[in-house]
Amino acid sequence: MIISLNWLKKFTSIDMSVSDLATLIGARLVEIEEVVNLGEKYDKIIVVKVVEASKLEGSDHLSVTKINDGGVTDGVERDENGLVQVVCGAPNIKAGQMVVWLPPNSIIPETSGSSEPFKLGSRKLCGEMSNGMIASARELDLFDEHAGILVVDNDIALGKSFATAYELDDYLLDIENKSLTHRPDCFGVIGFAREVAAIQGKAFETPDWLLDIAPNFDTLDGEKVELSVNIDDANLSSRYQAIVMSGADAGKQSPLMIQMYLSRVGIRPINAVVDVTNYLMMLTGQPLHAFDYDKLVAVAGGQADIHVRAGKDGEKLTLLDGRTIEITSEDIVIAAGETAIGLAGAMGGANTEIDENTKNIIIESATFNLYNLRSTQMRHGIFSEAITRFTKGQPAELTAPVLAMAVNLMSEWSGAKCVSDVTQAYPVKTTQPVIETTSAFVNEILGSEFSSDEIIKTIKNVEFTAEATSDNKIKIAAPYWRSDVHIIEDVIEEVGRLNGFDNISPLLPKRDFAAVRPVEFDILRSNLRKIMASAGANEVLNYSFVHGDMLKKANQSADNSYRIVNSISPDLQYYRQSLTPSLLGLVHPNIKQGFDSFALFELNKSHEKYDGLNYEGVPVEIDSMALIVADKNSQQGAAYYQAKYLIEFLLHRLGVKLTFKPIESDNDDALFAPFEYRRSAMVADGDKIIGVIGEYKKSVSKAFKLPEFAAGYEIDTMALLEAYNNTTNSYKPLSRYPATDRDVCFQVEQSVNYNQVIDAAEVALAEIELDSEITPVDIYQTENGETKNVTIRVKLISHDHTLVGEEISAAINHVTSAVVAATYAKVI
């Protein structure tokens, strides 16, 4: 929204610089995005009189003019009478006109601020010298001209600055609308001025006509036109007023000064009738609409019978902008008889549009249910100045004073006269609540030290009624235009805001010394990140949503994903079912960027539709950690073991023991779906499966263009936390006696797993009264490929004596026979 400083000044004095004012408004009312110096554009530009104008010979459209600038411009060629010659191309140029002259060295306002501002000079056109130019409204960056050059009012002194004459020596404040969503009053200049007065500590006085919520309309002489108005559903509109005026001259323009003000705040002047409605909307925040009376009567079948009603599904309406829309039952419709003639609050219908033949008009001043209008706005994509105001919730009381002023201006500017009574439907009257409080309560919430008198003065400045009662309370009622004030907190905001929140002393809340315990899960995740980074892996964050193609590539079923229905991009179509697919998607791009060998990991959340809802009725959310390790160059050994080495490092650091269990058959659970079961394991905490580790299916690998060496894991971090919390201290005191190592090599069938050997050895060692450790030494596949040799190192430790040969042999024999028994191994 654009606010003109000069327009504000008509209602309140401002005694500080523009930049100080902008800072103050920013601190106490609303963010200002930009302040534009409008006057700069009109530097050197003056009002002059056309003394002579004659057709230029040899041109079909140019005229040679002599202008009188009152002699104020220096350094310009003049004739013997002191007049300046300007060649003009406008068809409407005539001697005697007052026009706007851009002298040599001035810049055409339309081009100022552009990348190529156009500076005028003196040059010959068709052989005639032209000094500067006579400007059109468009060239003056005001509005699209109607006829050619802009002809201004007669009573302006020759040579007067154009900006001064039309108050264009102005500053425009570009306001961030969003923070005024709850303030319908601030969407009018008067309401904004009220705030500007109060934040300067000044009392504001609203013009009498706007305070008069039951204005008198002149009694009519002669014959009255009948007009009926009905609100068919009181939920749709709290007030609808209308009046018929006759004799509007649609060809008539509003005063030029008004056009100048409208255009600077972004409203195109059209004609007197339309300008009245727009001017009053900008002034008060109350939108008005004008219908062609005769068209309305024709549509309604002979009488002016207006209804406010819900739209009917399937109903169609052609709007003023030419679009034909399909109305729904959530739209509010203005109907003449049965037929829709407008989308309430949003846009009028073409069937009752004012045109050059319009003589009689109906002016509507009404308020509508803002929630319906908001949905209308979204559904039909209408973002007009009017609906922007209506959706802030304009109060019902505002319609009457604005309509009364509209009648006055309409008669003044367009010559129209009232021919009907004001007709209204006003089903539900609202009253402002009386709010009682004390200065102590206000101060308790703000942390301030205002006296009752200061509080009363502050809110009286914005025209609340406020009085101290005998029992030390303050009785407050908001003026009718503050439909946003309901509860004491709303008043407290006004007190704090208008005096400046920054003037309240900041202090800290009191607390006791009890320390806050950081969240265990957060500490674990922080450790996981540090550990994986120390293992050379890089943490990434991927979007929570993926493209359907990614699910397909990862062998996951789209049916298992929550689907986003209003996404701007197909890349954000489905919730992730697991973290792995997004990591797979990062491998190829990074290899292309020249990274040959890396590991990426992510800690994040995933959601599977099949998991259903939790106790709160929202989808189950799984916290996981996933990693992928990849190398562009082929490596010795399967990638699986690299991923396993990384997770074992992690588990070792955490002191958590998990097991890796072979997967018997293909598993299409989302977590397992991308993994090749013959080269993957289930990660288990005891009997509980908490993750997967392995290489990817060939088809997945191909779809993501993975290198041959690629593997990864994904584990449930909440389950990992549980395992971590169940970890017992594994520390054993150091022994004073030397430990003994023995390497043992078992030849086993290919099908025997390494763990079968280790498990048997561990069980056997547990039966011996010595401490022991087992570490792998070698896994060798024999030439025939049917067997493998697994060599392990057994460390034996005694805490009370030095071990002797027989003891050691007995222990090792116990271990080897146990392994042999369990795996049919041959000791070699």
Residues numbered 657 to 696 that lie near another protein (CB under 8 A) are 660-663, 676, 678-681, 693-694
Q: Of the listed pieces 217-225, 248-256, 260-268, 522-530, which binds another protein according to CB under 8 A?
A: 522-530
Q: Which residues is 713 bridged to in the sheet?
A: 627, 693
CB of residue 623 to another protein, shortest distance in Å = 9
Is position 828 an interface residue for another protein (rule: CB under 8 A)?
no
Q: Which residues is 774 bridged to in the sheet?
A: 794
Residue pair 186/192 in contact (Cβ under 8 Å)? The answer is: yes
Site string for another protein, 493-512 (x = CB under 8 A): x--xx---xx-xxxxxx-x-
Binding to another protein (CB under 8 A): which residues in 468-497?
A: 487, 489-490, 492-493, 496-497
Q: Which is nearer to another protein, 71 or 662 (CB)?
A: 662
Q: Which residues is 660 bridged to in the sheet?
A: 683
Binding to another protein (CB under 8 A): which residues in 384-403?
A: 391-392
Return all residues near 183 (Cβ < 8 A) that are at least 6 apart: 191, 392, 484
Is position 37 an interface residue for another protein (rule: CB under 8 A)?
no
Is position 370 an interface residue for another protein (rule: CB under 8 A)?
yes
Instruction: Name the residue among 688, 650, 654, 695 with its Cα closest to residue 672.
Output: 695
Q: Which is nearer to another protein, 29 or 134 (CB)?
A: 29
- Environment class of 633 (CB within 10 Å of its CB; exposed 0-12, middle 13-18, buried 19+): exposed
Distance CA 695, CA 676 (A): 6
Distance CA 267, CA 389 (A): 14
Q: Which is nearer to another protein, 255 or 619 (CB)?
A: 619
Q: Which is nearer to another protein, 530 or 799 (CB)?
A: 530
Binding to another protein (CB under 8 A): which residues in 241-300?
A: none
Residue pair 535/649 in contact (Cβ under 8 Å)? The answer is: yes
Q: Which is nearer to another protein, 535 or 745 (CB)?
A: 535
301: left (phi over 0), alpha (psi -120 to 50) or beta: left
Strands 128-131 vs 787-797: parallel, antiparallel or unpaired: unpaired
Is position 567 an interface residue for another protein (rule: CB under 8 A)?
yes
Q: Kindly state the helix (H) or strand (E) to which residue 465 belongs, with its residue range.
A: strand 465-468
Distance CA 46, CA 340 (A): 49
Site string for another protein, 737-766 (x = CB under 8 A): ----------------xxxx-x--------
Q: Which residues is 475 bridged to in the sheet?
A: 436, 467
Q: Of the listed pieces 27-35, 276-284, 719-727, 763-771, which binds another protein according to CB under 8 A?
A: 27-35
Binding to another protein (CB under 8 A): which residues in 695-714?
A: 697-699, 702
Q: Of the listed pieces 125-133, 347-355, 364-372, 455-463, which binds another protein according to CB under 8 A?
A: 364-372
Q: Which is nearer to another protein, 253 or 753 (CB)?
A: 753
Binding to another protein (CB under 8 A): which residues in 170-189?
A: 178-183
- What is the SS3 string spanning 356-387? CCCCCEEEEEEEECHHHHHHHHHHHCCCCHHH
Is position 603 an interface residue for another protein (rule: CB under 8 A)?
yes
Is position 236 an interface residue for another protein (rule: CB under 8 A)?
no
Is position 586 an interface residue for another protein (rule: CB under 8 A)?
yes
Is position 642 an interface residue for another protein (rule: CB under 8 A)?
yes
CB of residue 645 to another protein, shortest distance in Å = 4
Q: Which is nearer to another protein, 232 or 749 (CB)?
A: 749
Q: Kindly state the helix (H) or strand (E) to which residue 790 belongs, with its residue range.
A: strand 787-797
Distance CA 315, CA 326 (A): 6
**Binding-site member from 204, 464, 545, 704 for another protein (CB under 8 A):** 545
CB of residue 8 to another protein, shortest distance in Å = 18
User: Which three-class secondary structure state does DSSP give residue 673?
Assistant: coil
Instruction: Name the residue among 554, 589, 590 with its Cα closest to residue 574.
Output: 554
**Binding-site member from 128, 379, 547, 649 for another protein (CB under 8 A):** 649
Is position 519 an interface residue for another protein (rule: CB under 8 A)?
yes
Number of chain positions touching another protein (CB under 8 A):
129
Distance CA 584, CA 694 (A): 13
Q: Which is nearer to another protein, 12 or 499 (CB)?
A: 499
CB of residue 119 to another protein, shortest distance in Å = 34
Site string for another protein, 143-172 (x = CB under 8 A): ------------------------------
Return all residues near 740 (Cβ < 8 A) that are at least 6 apart: 795, 796, 797, 803, 808
Residue pair 458/448 in contact (Cβ under 8 Å)? The answer is: no
Is position 544 an interface residue for another protein (rule: CB under 8 A)?
yes
Q: Which is nearer to another protein, 105 or 544 (CB)?
A: 544
Return all residues near 44 (Cβ < 8 A) that are at least 6 apart: 73, 102, 103, 105, 106
CB of residue 641 to another protein, shortest distance in Å = 5
Q: How far is CA 573 from the centre of its chain?
A: 20
Q: Which is nearer to another protein, 547 or 661 (CB)?
A: 661
CB of residue 545 to another protein, shortest distance in Å = 8
Residue pair 200/277 in contact (Cβ under 8 Å)? The answer is: no
Q: Which is nearer to another protein, 53 or 498 (CB)?
A: 498
Q: Which is nearer to another protein, 355 or 512 (CB)?
A: 512
Distance CA 331, CA 383 (A): 15
Site string for another protein, 72-101 (x = CB under 8 A): ------------------------------
Q: Which is nearer to another protein, 328 or 590 (CB)?
A: 590
Is position 329 an interface residue for another protein (rule: CB under 8 A)?
no
**Which phi and psi angles does 573 have, rounded to 5°?**
-100, -35
User: Which three-class secondary structure state does DSSP give residue 210?
Assistant: helix
Binding to another protein (CB under 8 A): which residues in 781-800?
A: 781, 788
**Binding-site member from 126, 220, 234, 378 for another protein (CB under 8 A):** 378
Residue pair 545/573 in contact (Cβ under 8 Å)? The answer is: yes
Distance CA 477, CA 431 (A): 10
Is position 566 an interface residue for another protein (rule: CB under 8 A)?
yes
Q: Kindly state the helix (H) or strand (E) to which residue 340 belongs, with its residue range.
A: strand 339-343
Is position 357 an interface residue for another protein (rule: CB under 8 A)?
no
Instruction: Name the residue among 593, 590, 393 with its Cα closest to residue 482.
Output: 393
Q: Of the listed pieces 83-91, 108-116, 159-167, 638-646, which binds another protein according to CB under 8 A?
A: 638-646
CB of residue 389 to another protein, shortest distance in Å = 11
Distance CA 312, CA 331 (A): 8
CB of residue 497 to another protein, shortest distance in Å = 5
Residue type for position 825: A
Instruction: Name the residue among 430, 427, 310 with its Cα closest to residue 375.
Output: 310
Distance CA 542, CA 525 (A): 17
Q: Of the listed pieces 74-82, 229-237, 368-376, 407-415, which binds another protein according to CB under 8 A?
A: 368-376
Binding to another protein (CB under 8 A): which residues in 441-460?
A: 444-448
The Cα diameter of the chain in Å comes to 135
**Binding-site member from 91, 433, 562, 741 for another protein (CB under 8 A):** 562
